[in-house]
């Protein structure tokens, strides 16, 4: 039981490049989330998927897109990376409704 | 919209001393409250949660937290800190009809001196 897994662990991009961050969970959770973590700002929600087939914007969605591929997988795409998107990205999952979230180990992204 | 404030950016305590990390929230109805811990280079791990019932909740690693509605607070406590408790601690509030959307505080970095 791996919990929440994320790939890659580290990534360096040049401004304007695109990439997709992958997330998968094996806990049969309905809801999945993408956060970014920046120093002194805690975690901020980018997008979430309350259930398979639905996605919604969070607090900081600009510059990102998401795909809920199936119940297990939720990907985050940067179409044209900018230095302001340098951050640590965390994926999380939970049962539907108010419930604790389980976090992946994170992806550290640097945009030059 | 809900919000969370952790007034202390950084706290230093000696090993064996007691610890209290402060968390204040803003939300109009009964909140769902969480404390998470993040060790360096790791993801977040849930310490404890409050949904309803007893306002003093016990968590893992010897931590506890008390929900005080009158003060809009959910402070985290531990009677005796261990060196391995050095980490960053996040308070979060979950609310609304959209399920588990959480709003996090900015975090408190805990340093433990030997």
Contact state of A98 with B100 under an 8 Å Cβ cutoff: yes
pLDDT in the model for residue B97: 55
Mean pLDDT of chain A: 94
Q: Sign of dihedral through CA atoms B87, B93, B98, B100?
A: positive
Q: Name the residue facing A42 among B42, B45, B104 (closest C-beta).
A: B104
Closest residue in chain A to residue B43, using alpha carbons only: A105
Chain A residue nearest residue B89, CA to CA: A42
- pLDDT score of B16: 97
* Chain A residue set in contact with B, beta carbons under 8 Å: 4, 31, 33, 40-45, 48, 50, 56, 58, 90, 92, 94-106
Quote the Cα angle for B105-A1-A92, to 5°. Answer: 25
Using alpha carbons, select from B93, B92, B74, B104 the residue that is nearest to residue B27.
B93
Is B51–A98 a contact, with Cβ atoms under 8 angstroms apart?
Answer: yes
Q: From CA B42, how far away is CA B62, in angstroms rounded?
A: 20
Rounded mean pLDDT, A87-100: 88
CA distance B85 to B111: 8
Res B96: pLDDT: 57
* Residue-wise pLDDT tens digits, A43-83: 999 999 988 889 999 999 999 999 998 999 999 999 999 99
The pLDDT confidence band at residue B30, using thresholds 50, 70 and 90, is confident
Q: CA of B84: how far to CAs of A70, A97, B8, B37, in Å?
A: 38, 33, 20, 12
Pairing of strands B10-14, B108-113: parallel
Q: What is the pLDDT of residues A19-28, one digit of tens each?
A: 999 999 999 9
**Which chain B residue is nearest to residue A9, measuring alpha carbons?**
B41
Mapped onto helix, strand or coil, the DSSP state of residue A102 is strand
Average pLDDT over chain B, rounded to whole?
91
For residues A105 and B43, the answer to whether their CB atoms sit within 8 Å is: yes
Residues of B in contact with A45 (CB under 8 A): 101-103
The pLDDT assigned to A33 comes to 95
Nearest CA in chain A to B88: A42
CB atoms within 10 A of CB A96: 12
Q: Report the pLDDT value the prediction gives residue B100, as an integer from 0 to 100.
A: 66
| Residues A28-39, mean pLDDT to the nearest whole number | 94
Answer yes or no: do B99 and A50 touch at CB < 8 A.
yes
Query: Looking at the predicted structure, is the pLDDT value of residue A29 above 70?
Result: yes
Separation in Å, CA A76 to CA A107, B5, B23, B38, B98: 11, 28, 30, 22, 20
Q: Around Cβ A108, how many Cβ atoms within 10 Å?
A: 16
pLDDT tens digits for range B53-108: 889 999 999 999 999 999 999 999 999 999 999 999 999 998 655 446 889 999 99
Longest dimension (CA), chain B: 45
CB A91 within 8 A of CB A4: yes
């Amino acid at each position: 039981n791996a919990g929440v897994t994320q790939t890659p662990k580290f990534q360096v991009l040049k401004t304007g490049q695109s990439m997709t961050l992958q997330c998968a969970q094996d806990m049969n959770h309905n809801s999945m989330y993408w956060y970014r973590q920046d120093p002194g700002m805690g975690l901020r929600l980018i997008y979430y998927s309350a259930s398979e087939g639905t996605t919604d914007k969070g607090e900081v969605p600009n510059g990102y897109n998401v795909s809920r591929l199936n119940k297990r997988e939720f990907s985050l795409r940067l179409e044209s990376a900018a230095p302001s998107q340098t951050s640590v990205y965390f994926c999380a999952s939970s049962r539907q409704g108010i419930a604790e979230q389980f976090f992946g180990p994170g992806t550290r992204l640097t945009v030059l | 919209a809900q919000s969370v404030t952790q007034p202390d950016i950084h706290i230093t305590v000696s090993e064996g001393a007691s610890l209290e990390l402060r968390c204040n929230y803003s939300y109009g109805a009964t909140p769902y409250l969480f404390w998470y811990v993040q060790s360096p280079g790791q993801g977040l791990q849930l310490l404890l949660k409050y949904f309803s019932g007893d306002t003093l909740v016990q968590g893992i690693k010897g931590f506890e937290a008390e929900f005080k509605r009158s003060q809009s607070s959910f402070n985290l406590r531990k009677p005796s800190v261990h060196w391995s408790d050095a980490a960053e601690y996040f308070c979060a509030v979950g609310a609304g009809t959209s399920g588990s959307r959480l709003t996090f505080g900015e975090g408190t970095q805990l340093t433990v001196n030997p």
